[in-house]
């Protein structure tokens, strides 16, 4: 579309800039807050320009942790969150692409039943089934472990459903041509379905990584051992610290750090995602 | 290279649709067989059973002297070209051709040699590094052919491979497929609903209707002596005119009263007289002749197609329009009355009840 209407351009940019300011401002305040000493944040006036405590604050949270807030060092929590988010994202993609493959390409008794069973679990997110899930997880001795943090969140109806829909748009002749070319089911999956699903996987990875990273309720329930705390839990614990004022400078620094991995995932995967969108075709 | 033989092959789909109702054909080594018939007559089903993509409900298929009913497609030593080409979209042309050979564990240099050879024959050498989406329809078609010929299979199976191309390219590829098949001498089974494609490609045609074979024969045999009204109507364009007649006292009578001598041994009472548009002549004087068919036709429309024109008109007692082929220069206008004549040896007589051919 070629248009030359300066006013329209001006107004649309203005709207975008205002929108951006609204989104960015809190992040900026968080950053500013993370660069002051504790007293400044409690003085009642929130400063808008960075202070001089940047290095001290970040050193403190990274290495020492906040013993008074009952939270381990941020570094450890970041690692835990990372492990959890990666395991959930990769696990979900792996499981759901395999289930979708089975449902679309194989005829087995109970295939339709299997699909609908998976589909119905869409209605049962973790929060709804939290008691029985906890019971099972505890029974298997998975409390305070990475497996306990991730496994119950891995089965995914949404992703299975997305892959199923995608597979159904792939012309049947493609699998037939592969069959004639001597590719068995596993070879077909590896050589043809997986490469064709690259963009879908990248897109899902972004969504699922953020989903995993932002998990709060489930980690809170299955972990009692500090060494398995995740960053989102950690922030919450710091805010609700008993018998003292929250240390806002530290909390804000942690918040900013916690934002970095999801942002990186979005930025990095988006490029791959768009590249894939442009390059693949059926 | 191999023979293919089908013995009373049947296919009943899960829903109970009987798509192929007992088909037997013997295909000679190196023969080019075309399965032709209207949409839904079971051509694709039959081809896919030969390929091994559909289970055979009943009967037996042999490739060479091996019964292949329970053999996987990959082990049948066949290659198939699909209507939508079914190229692997994420692989380069080279890898599309090489994939089947890789899966068979051919050595790398042998694969390379064969891919280059196929690319040379099909003139796709310049595109080997491209992805299918970077090719035109005709080029994709060639790649699909290439994927079939690199394998050096015992038989090629084609399922309407040209129907996604524009008319000009279709003619060009048709000639190329014919040339390729003659050069390689590979037994081929080709499915199409286009009777012209069928006529030009086939060594022998198999005309299918509702899952049954109506006729097997060389294109000329099928054209000259259609075994049934179905074949008569399907092969040849415009279609053969079919005129209902009544037999009486050794003569065939049209509803409009004209008549001619019945062919020898003609027993039925009701018959259909078939006459191709090119066998009808416009006759100025209109004198009746016991040895020829004569008709009076009222012109409805004239269709010029360049080299010739088709005159459509109505004849008393005939439901469908009667079509006559005339030279392009001849001028007729709607509403005109024409006398038409066809010599007796150009006439086809069919049983009105079952459509079977009655004259030799
Ligand atoms: N997978 C299927 N399940 C049920 N019926 C089918 C299936 N495939 C084809 N048919 C039916 O079988 C008949 C023949 O189909 P097909 O062989 O594709 O015809 P053609 O290729 O001659 O157009 C049709 O009536 C079609 O509806
Ligand atoms: Mg078909």
Q: Atom 8, ligand 1: which residue's CA is nearest?
A: B45
Rg (CA), chain A: 24
Asked if A281 reaches chain B (Cβ–Cβ under 8 Å), the answer is yes
User: Would you state the structure tokens that stand for residue B224, as one six-digit string?
Assistant: 């000259």
CA–centroid distance, residue B42 to ligand 1 (Å): 6
CA A28 from chain centre, in angstroms, equals: 23
Ligand 2 centre to CA of A208 (Å) is 42
pLDDT at A225: 87
Name the residue at shortest CA distance from atom 16 of ligand 1. Answer: B42
- pLDDT higher at B51 or B349: B51
Cα of A194 to nearest chain B Cα, Å: 10
**Which residues does chain A have within 8 Å of residue B82's beta carbon, measured at their own beta carbons?**
173, 176-177
Q: Which numbered ligand comes closest to the C-alpha of B36?
A: 1
Share of chain B above pLDDT 70, in %: 95
Tens digit of each residue's pLDDT (9 = 90 or more) over B262-318: 766 666 678 888 999 999 988 877 666 667 788 889 999 999 988 899 999 998 888
Give the integer Cα–Cα distance in Å for B343 and B54: 48
**What gap in Å lies between CA A16 and CA A45, rounded to an integer?**
29
Predicted confidence (pLDDT) per residue in B176-231, tens digit: 999 999 999 999 999 999 999 999 999 999 999 999 999 999 999 999 999 999 99
Count of beta carbons in the 10 Å neighbourhood of residue A61: 25
Q: Which chain A residues are Cβ-neighbours of B105 within 8 angstroms? A: none
Model pLDDT, residue B136: 92
Closest C-alpha residue for ligand 1 atom 1? B13
- The CATH homologous superfamily to which domain B238-351 belongs is Nucleic acid-binding proteins (2.40.50.140)
How is chain A split among helix, strand and coil, in percent rounded to 5?
75, 0, 25
Domain B4-229 sits in CATH at 3.40.50.300
Statement: residue B166 has pLDDT above 70: yes
Task: Find where tokens 């289930």 sit.
Answer: A99
Q: What are the pocket residues of ligand 1 if the criterion is a CB atom closer than 6 Å to any ligand atom? A: B 13, 15, 17, 19, 37, 39-45
Looking up tokens 């379905």 gives A193
What is the rounded distance in angstroms from the CA atom of residue A128 to the CA atom of residue A112? Answer: 25
CB atoms near residue A265 (< 10 Å): 20
pLDDT of residue A66: 59
Q: How far is B147 from chain A (nearest CA, A)?
A: 9
Instruction: Point out the least confidently predicted range of B70-84, B99-113, B346-360.
Output: B346-360
The nearest alpha carbon in chain A to B104 belongs to: A182
Residue ranges of domains in chain A, CATH in brackets = 69-229+261-278 (1.10.3720.10)
Contacts for B50 with CB less than 8 Å, ≥ 6 apart: B4, B6, B61, B63, B78, B155, B157, B189
DSSP code string of B15-78: TS-EEEEEEEEEE-TT-EEEEE-STTSSHHHHHHHHHTSS--SEEEEEETTEE-TT--GGGTTE
Higher pLDDT, B22 or A247: B22
Determine the length of chain A. 282
* SS3 state at B11: strand
Q: Which contiguous run of DSSP H or E holds residue B297?
A: strand B292-304
B77: tokens are: 């030593």
Of the listed ligands, the closest to the CA of B159 is 2
> Which of the residues A105, A171, A178, A181 would you substitute to probe the B interface, choosing the one with the greatest number of B C-beta atoms within 10 Å?
A181
- Structure token digits, residue A163: 């892959």
pLDDT of A68 reads: 53
**A73 and A61 in contact (C-beta within 8 Å)?**
yes
- Residues across chain B: 360
Give, for all 282 residues of chain A, the pLDDT tens digit: 566 788 888 999 999 999 999 999 999 988 888 888 877 777 777 778 888 888 888 887 777 665 555 567 788 889 999 999 999 999 999 999 999 999 999 989 998 898 888 888 888 887 888 899 999 999 999 999 999 999 988 887 889 999 999 999 999 999 999 999 999 999 999 999 999 998 889 888 998 999 999 999 899 999 988 889 898 888 888 888 777 777 788 888 888 889 999 999 988 888 777 765 565 544
Residues in chain B with CB shorter than 8 Å from the CB of A192 are: 88, 90
C-beta separation of A65 from A125 below 8 A: no
d(CA A193, CA A167): 8
First-to-last CA distance in chain A? Answer: 27
In whole angstroms, what separates CA B171 from the centre of its chain?
A: 15
Interface contacts (A, B; CB < 8 Å)? 60
Sort out which chain B residues have CB atoms less than 8 A from A181's CB and list them.
74, 99-100, 103, 147
Check residue B147 and give its pLDDT: 95
Min CA distance, A179 vs chain B (Å)?
A: 6
A window 98-157, beta carbon within 8 A of B? none
- What token pair was written down for B323? 């079509």
Q: Average pLDDT for residues B110-116, to the nearest whole number?
A: 96
In chain B, whose CA is at the least distance from the CA of A282?
B89
Q: Give the closest residue to B165 by CA, choosing from B136, B133, B188.
A: B136
Distance CA A145, CA A227 (A): 9
State the pLDDT at residue A58.
82
Q: What are phi and psi of A91, to 5 degrees?
A: -60, -45
Reported as a single tens digit per residue, the pLDDT across B311-337 is: 999 988 888 899 999 998 888 888 888
List the B32-36 sheet strands across, edge first. Answer: B78-81, B155-159, B187-192, B32-36, B204-209, B212-217
Q: Which residue has the higher pLDDT, B251 or A69?
A: B251
Of A174, A182, A195, nearest to B104 by CB-CB distance is A182
A249 closest CA partner among A81, A64, A97, A40? A40
Cβ of B71 under 8 Å from any chain A Cβ? no
Alpha carbon of B82 to those of B18, B37, B85, B358: distances in Å?
A: 23, 18, 5, 39
How many whole angstroms from B43 Cα to the centroid of ligand 1? 8
Task: Give the start-to-end residue ranges of the domains of chain B.
Answer: 4-229, 238-351
Give the bridge partners for B159, in sequence order: B191
Within 8 A by CB and 6+ apart from B328, the residues are B304, B306, B307, B308, B309
Confidence of residue B352 (pLDDT cuts 50, 70, 90): confident
Q: Which of A172, A179, A180 to mutate to test the interface with B (most CBs of B within 10 A)?
A: A180
pLDDT of A67 reads: 55
The ligand placed nearest to the CA atom of residue B208 is: 1
The answer to whether residues B144 and B112 touch, using CB atoms and an 8 Å cutoff, is no
State ipTM: 0.87
Query: What residues in A contact B90, CB-CB < 8 Å?
Result: 192, 195-196, 280
pLDDT at B158: 96
Rounded Cα distance between B330 and A87, Å, is 81
Of A178, A179, A280, nearest to B90 by CB-CB distance is: A280
In angstroms, what CA-CA distances link A142 with A85, A148, A217, A233, B227? 17, 5, 16, 19, 77
**Any idea of the CA torsion for B13, B18, B19, B25, to the nearest 10 degrees?**
120
């Amino acid at each position: 579309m070629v248009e030359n209407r300066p006013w329209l351009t001006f107004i649309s940019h203005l709207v975008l800039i205002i929108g951006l300011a609204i989104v960015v401002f809190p992040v900026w305040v968080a950053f500013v807050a993370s660069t002051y000493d504790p007293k400044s944040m409690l003085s009642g006036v929130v400063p808008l320009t960075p202070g001089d405590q940047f290095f001290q604050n970040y050193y403190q949270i990274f290495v020492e942790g906040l013993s008074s807030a009952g939270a381990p060092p941020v570094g450890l929590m970041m690692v835990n969150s990372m492990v959890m988010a990666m395991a959930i994202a990769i696990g979900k993609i792996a499981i759901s692409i395999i289930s979708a493959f089975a449902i679309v390409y194989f005829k087995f008794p109970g295939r339709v039943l299997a699909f609908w069973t998976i589909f119905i679990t869409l209605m049962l997110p973790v929060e709804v089934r939290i008691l029985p899930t906890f019971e099972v997880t505890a029974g298997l001795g998975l409390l305070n472990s990475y497996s306990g943090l991730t496994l119950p969140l891995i089965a995914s109806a949404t992703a299975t459903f997305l892959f199923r829909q995608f597979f159904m748009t792939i012309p049947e002749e493609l699998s037939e041509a592969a069959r004639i070319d001597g590719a068995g089911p596993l070879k077909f999956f590896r050589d043809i379905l997986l490469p064709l699903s690259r963009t879908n996987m990248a897109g899902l990875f972004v969504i699922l990584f953020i989903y995993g990273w932002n998990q709060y309720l489930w980690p809170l329930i299955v972990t009692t051992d500090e060494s398995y705390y995740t960053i989102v839990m950690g922030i919450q614990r710091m805010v609700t610290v008993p018998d003292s004022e929250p240390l806002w400078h530290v909390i804000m620094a942690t918040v900013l750090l916690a934002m970095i991995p999801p942002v990186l995932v979005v930025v990095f995967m988006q490029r791959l995602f768009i590249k894939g969108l442009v390059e693949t075709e059926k | 290279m191999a023979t293919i033989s089908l013995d009373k092959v049947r296919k009943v789909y899960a829903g109970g649709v009987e798509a192929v109702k007992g088909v037997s054909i013997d295909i000679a080594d190196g023969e080019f067989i075309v399965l032709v018939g209207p949409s839904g007559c079971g051509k694709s089903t039959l081809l896919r059973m030969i390929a091994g993509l559909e289970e055979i409900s009943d009967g037996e298929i042999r490739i060479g002297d091996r019964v292949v009913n329970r053999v996987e497609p990959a082990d049948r030593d066949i290659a198939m070209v699909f209507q939508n080409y079914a190229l692997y979209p994420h692989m380069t042309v080279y890898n599309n051709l090489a994939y089947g050979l890789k899966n068979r564990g051919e050595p790398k240099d042998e694969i390379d040699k064969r891919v280059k050879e196929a690319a040379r024959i099909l003139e796709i050498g310049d595109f080997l590094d491209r992805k299918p989406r970077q090719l035109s329809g005709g080029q994709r078609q060639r790649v699909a052919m290439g994927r079939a010929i690199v394998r050096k299979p015992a038989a090629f199976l084609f399922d309407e491979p040209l129907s996604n191309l524009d008319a000009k390219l279709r003619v060009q590829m048709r000639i190329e497929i014919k040339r390729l098949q003659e050069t390689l001498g590979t037994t081929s089974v080709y499915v199409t609903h286009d009777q012209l494609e069928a006529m030009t490609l086939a060594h022998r045609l198999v005309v299918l209707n509702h899952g049954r074979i109506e006729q097997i024969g060389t294109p000329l045999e099928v054209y000259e002596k259609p075994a049934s009204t179905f074949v008569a109507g399907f092969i040849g364009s415009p279609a053969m005119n079919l005129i209902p007649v009544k037999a009486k006292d050794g003569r065939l009578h049209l509803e409009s009263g004209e008549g001619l001598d019945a062919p020898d041994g003609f027993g039925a009472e009701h018959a259909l007289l078939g006459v191709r548009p090119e066998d009808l002549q416009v006759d100025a004087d209109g004198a009746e002749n016991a040895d020829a068919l004569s008709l009076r036709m009222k012109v409805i429309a004239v269709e010029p197609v360049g080299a010739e024109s088709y005159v459509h008109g109505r004849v008393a007692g005939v439901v469908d329009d009667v079509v006559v082929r005339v030279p392009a220069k001849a001028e007729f206008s709607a509403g005109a009355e024409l006398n038409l004549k066809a010599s007796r040896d150009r006439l086809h007589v069919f049983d009105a009840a079952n459509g079977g051919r009655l004259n030799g």
